[in-house]
Amino acid sequence: MSKVINISLILCTFMVVIGCELSNRKAPVSVSWQVSVPDINKSNNNEHRFVIKNISNTPLGRNWSLFYSQFPMKSCKQQSNMVKVENVKGTFHRISPKENYKPLNPGDSIILIISGRGEMPGYSMKPEGVYWVDGSHSSTPLPIELVTRSLPFIYSKNEKAIQVYKDNKRIESAMKHANGIEVIPAVKHVSYSQSYLKLKNVIHIVAHPDFHTEVAIMKDKLASLYAIVEDSLSEVQLTLDYLQQKENAVNEEYYELNVTNDKIHISAITPHGIFNGIQTFLSLLKGQEVPYSIKSVFIKDYPDFSYRGHMQDVARNFIGITDLKKLIDILSSYKLNVFRFHFSDDEGWRLQIPGLEELTEIASHRGHTYDESECLYPAYNGNFDYQSETSGNGFYSRDEFIDLLRYAADRHVSIIPEIESPGHARAAIVAMKARYERYLETDPIKAHEYLLNDIHDASHYVSAQGYSDNVMNVAMPSTYRFMKKVIQELQLMYEEAGVPLKSIHIGGDEVAEGAWQGSPICKDFMLEYSMTDVQELSDYFIMRMVDFLKEQKIPFSGWQEVVLGHDEISEQYLTDNAFGISCWRTSANNHSDELIYKFANKGYPVILSNATNFYLDLAYDAHPDEPGHNWNGYVDESKSFALLPYCIYRSIRTHLLANQIQEEKTSLTAEGRKNIKGVESALWSETIRNYKGVEYYLFPKIMGLAERGWHSSPIWEPMTGIDEQLAFEKDLAFYYKRISQKEIPYWDKMNINYRLPFPGLYIDKDGFLFANTPILGGEIHYTTDGKEPTKNSKIWNKPVKCRTNEVKAKLFVGNKKSVTVSMNPQFY
C-alpha cells in the first residue's frame, strides 16, 4: 500500500511540476508599438510601428504567428522584409513570416510599419490582446504584454487648453445667473413657499395600495442612499395617492409634488406618474446629509416625449446581469423609460434561444480558433480564451432575461429587443453554420432548417466594421424560419414575465454594398420575382418581417435605413405599422441630417438618435487618453444637452458657439412635428472592456439626453444671435451646477464611475497661470516640474506666476480625477 501511495505522490508531483512549467511558459518575443501622425494636416493618416524582438535563447524559425486586435485602417500599406500582417476578420489581425523570412537570432528585432487611413490615434485605437502561437494548430497561445509609447496629441496642447479655458469661462460667467430647482431633468412648473421641511432619518409613508411596487423601490432608496426608514411615529408624512383633479394631467406621466413644512404629497393618475414624482422627491435629497432640508415647493411636471430611451450594445462586449440591472435602475432614476436591448451583432449573440442552442454555445464566446466551430474569432479585447471571464464572453439565460423584464417593468422601463438583420448578423450566421455542420450527415433537414448563408455565395463586400460575411441571405426560406423562431421565443419570454412586448427592433442598418450579388440562390430568387436590383432583396426582407410582426400584433422598429427608398404604397404600409425609426445619420456635410425631418413629414414615428449628439461611445474629447471613437467627432455632456429636436440643424455647436446655417434645408411641418416621438442615446461597446467603461461613457453625458427628453424645446430654441448665446450659456451653466451639486454626490453614493472634464489653462502676457472648470466643488491640482499632478500637488485657486517649460493639471473630486491637461507656456 505504501508503494502505491508513494507512486501516486510521485505522479502528482510530476503533474504539478509539468503544470507549473506550462503555466510559466512565456512567449519567445516581446512586442512594442508606437503610432505617429506624419502629416498633422491629414490627421487620419497614421503610421503604426511594431517592433518584435527575440527575447529567447534560440533563433526563431518561420513557424509562428502573432495575433492581435485593433481597429483596421483603410488603404493600408506595409513595410517589412521579414513579416506581413493580414486581417483575419474585423478587428482581428495576424502577423506571420514572409517567404524570405530568415531565422531571428536572440536579441535581434523585426520592424513592421503599417500606414494608412484610420481614426485619429487615441486610447481605444491601440492594439490589444497580443498573443503568440507556434506553427501547430494544437499549440497553446501565449499572451504578450504589449509595450506602447506615448500617444501623440494631434492638436496643439496650448490651443486645446486655452479653448477649454475660454469655454469654461463662459459657463463661469453665466453660473451666477443659473438658478432653479436642482433636479435633472428640470421640472416644468414650480412655486415656492417660505417654509422648509426638515427630515431626519424617519418618515411616515401613506400610499394607495395600487402603488405598492413604487413604494417598495422608494423605501429601498431612502434606506440605502439616505439612511431614512419608515416609522409611523415620524413627524413628517409622505403620501402617495391618485390625483384628484384628473383634468390637470397633461399625459399619463404627469405628477404633482407638494412639499410643506411637515408633509410631502405626490399625486398622479398612473403608477408611472407616481414613480416620476418619487424620483423628483429623491433628487431633492441629493447632495445633502441628515438632517435633510427641503424648501416648501409645489411642482407640476410631465415629459414632452413619451419615448426617452437608451440603447445598450451588449453584443460586442458583454455586461453581466447584475450590472445591467444597476444600469436600468440608474437610468430610471432620471425618468428614462425605454431600454433598447442590442443583444446581437457581428461579434456576439447574448440571449439564450431554446431550440437554437448554438447561438449561445458558440456565438456568445470569442477566442483563439481556426474554424470557429467552438467560438467566434477574437475581437476588440482580443482575449484568446473563450472560457475566460472577459467582456468577450457571456450570455443571458432565458430565466435571467425574464427576471430582467420584470425588474425593468417595476421601474417603468420598457425593454425593446433588437435582432440585428439582415446585416450585422455574423455571430448568428457563424452559429447556424456550425449547426449545419453538426447535423449535415445525420439530419440534413435539421442542418438546413435555420441556415442563414448560401454556402456557394461568392459575393465580395466589406462592411463598415470590416466583415465580408455578415449579411443574412434574404432569399433563403431558412432565414425567415430563423427570424420567426427568435421572435416567437421572445414573445414567450415576455408572456411569462407578464410584461407587454411593445416593439421589436429589426436593425436594418449598414448592409454592405455587394452583398448577395454573388449568391446563386439570390440570383435565382431575383429572376423568379422579376427583380432587377439587389436593393429589392432588402426591401423584400423588410416587408416580410413587418408582415410577420403585424400578424403577431407587434409594431416594428428599425434604423433609418429600413425606411429608405420605398414607393408610396410601401411607405404607407410601413408608417402604419412602425413603432419607432431610429435616425442616427446627422451629418450636415452629406445632408443626411435632413432625413430626420423628411421621415417625420412623411408620417414615420421618428426617434432622434443623432450620432452627433447621442452616440455616447464617441470620445468626450480629442485628448489621447480619452477612450472612444472619433469617426463622427466628439460628444460630451454639453453636446448631448445642445440637441434641439425641432431645430436639428442648430444641434451641433462649435465649442459653445452655435453653428450658422448657410443654406436652406428641409423644414419640419406641423404634422411632422407630431411625429418626433422621442430621443434615444446609443452606447456601442466596441471600445468598452468592462462595466466601469459603460458608466464612464454615460455619466455625465447621458444627462443631456434626460434633459432633452423631458424638455424638447429649451428657452433658447426660438432665439437668435447674442440672445440665443447668452440664454444657452445660462441654461448650460445651470445644468453643470446641478451635475456638480446634486448628481456627483449621488453617483458617489451609487459607486458610479463617472468622468470628470479636465481643466482649462491659460497664461496671460505677464506670465500668470489661470485655470478653471465647470464643475463646482472640485480642486485643480497642478505641477510645473513635468510630473503628473496628484492630490498632493499644488492647488490652483488664484492666478500664480508661472515660468516653466510645462504646466500639467488635473481636476479632482473626491476619489475621482480627470485626465491630465498640459501646456507649454509662451511668455510675451
Question: Cell numbers at residue 467, please?
Answer: 466583415
pLDDT, average across residues 194-220: 97
Where does the pLDDT of residue 625 fall: very low under 50, low under 70, confident under 90, or very high at 90 and above?
Answer: very high
CB 67 within 8 A of CB 133: yes
CA 130-360-129 angle, 5° bins: 5
pLDDT attached to residue 662: 58
Question: Who has greater pLDDT, 330 or 654?
Answer: 330
List, for residues 452-474, the tens digit of each pLDDT value.
999 999 999 999 999 999 999 99
The candidate with the shortest Cα–Cα distance to 132, out of 48, 63, 83, is 63
Residue 300 pLDDT exceeds 90: yes
Classify residue 659 by its DSSP letter. Answer: P
**Max CA-CA distance within the chain?**
96
Helices 535-551 and 520-528: angle between axes, nearest 10 degrees: 80
Question: Cell numbers at residue 526, please?
Answer: 431575383
Residue 20 pLDDT exceeds 70: no
Distance CA 552, CA 808 (A): 60
Distance CA 95, CA 64 (A): 9
Question: Who has greater pLDDT, 655 or 778?
Answer: 778
Cell 451666477 sits at which residue?
A: 176
Distance CA 215, CA 500 (A): 22
Where does the pLDDT of residue 730 fall: very low under 50, low under 70, confident under 90, or very high at 90 and above?
Answer: very high
pLDDT, average across residues 147-173: 91
List, for residues 686-701, the tens digit of each pLDDT value.
999 999 999 999 999 9
| Cα separations in angstroms, 764 against 167, 758, 825 | 16, 20, 9
Where does the pLDDT of residue 155 fall: very low under 50, low under 70, confident under 90, or very high at 90 and above?
Answer: confident
SS (H, E, C) 418-461: EEEECCCCHHHHHHHHHHHHHHCCCCHHHHHCCCCCCCCCCCCC
Give the bridge partners for 220, in sequence order.
none
Distance CA 404, CA 257 (A): 30
pLDDT attached to residue 126: 95
Task: Answer left, alpha or beta for residue 820, where phi above 0 means left and psi between -120 and 50 means alpha.
Answer: beta
Question: Do the bridges between strand 676-683 and strand 307-313 make them parallel or antiparallel, or are there none, so unpaired?
Answer: parallel
What's the start-to-end Cα distance of the chain, in Å?
91
Distance CA 297, CA 192 (A): 4
Same CATH fold assignment for domains 189-301 and 756-823? no
pLDDT attached to residue 275: 98
- Mean pLDDT, the chain, rounded, equals 93
pLDDT, average across residues 352-377: 97
Residue 706 pLDDT exceeds 70: yes
Distance CA 328, CA 447 (A): 39
Give domain 23-148's CATH architecture.
Answer: Sandwich (2.60)
In the chain, % of residues over pLDDT 70: 96
List, for residues 32-72, the tens digit of each pLDDT value.
999 998 876 767 789 999 999 999 999 999 999 999 999 99
Amino acid identity, position 769:
L
pLDDT, average across residues 192-210: 96
Residue 631 pLDDT exceeds 80: yes
Q: Which CATH class is domain 307-419+472-509+525-689?
A: alpha beta
List, for residues 238-280, the tens digit of each pLDDT value.
999 999 999 999 999 999 999 999 999 999 999 999 999 999 9
pLDDT attached to residue 661: 61
pLDDT attached to residue 7: 39
Give the bridge partners for 36, in sequence order.
47
Distance CA 22, CA 41 (A): 49
Distance CA 255, CA 207 (A): 15
Would you kindly state where each structural domain of the chain is located, as residue ranges? 23-148, 189-301, 307-419+472-509+525-689, 756-823
Report the SS3 class of residue 671.
helix
pLDDT, average across residues 584-613: 91
Residue 13 pLDDT exceeds 70: no
Distance CA 651, CA 610 (A): 9
Is CATH 2.40.50.140 the right assignment for the domain spanning 756-823? no
- CATH superfamily of the 189-301 domain: Chitobiase/beta-hexosaminidase domain 2-like (3.30.379.10)
Q: What φ, ψ does residue 350 adopt, rounded to 5°?
A: -115, 10
pLDDT attached to residue 826: 66
pLDDT attached to residue 24: 63
In sequence order, the 6+-apart residues with CB closer than 8 A to the CB of 277 are 240, 255, 256, 257, 266, 267, 268, 301
pLDDT attached to residue 120: 85
Distance CA 627, CA 820 (A): 14
The count of other CB atoms within 10 Å of the CB of residue 340 is 25
**Segment (H or E) for 525:** helix 520-528
CB 556 within 8 A of CB 503: yes
In sequence order, the 6+-apart residues with CB closer than 8 A to the CB of 176 are none
Residue 114 pLDDT exceeds 90: yes
pLDDT, average across residues 418-444: 98
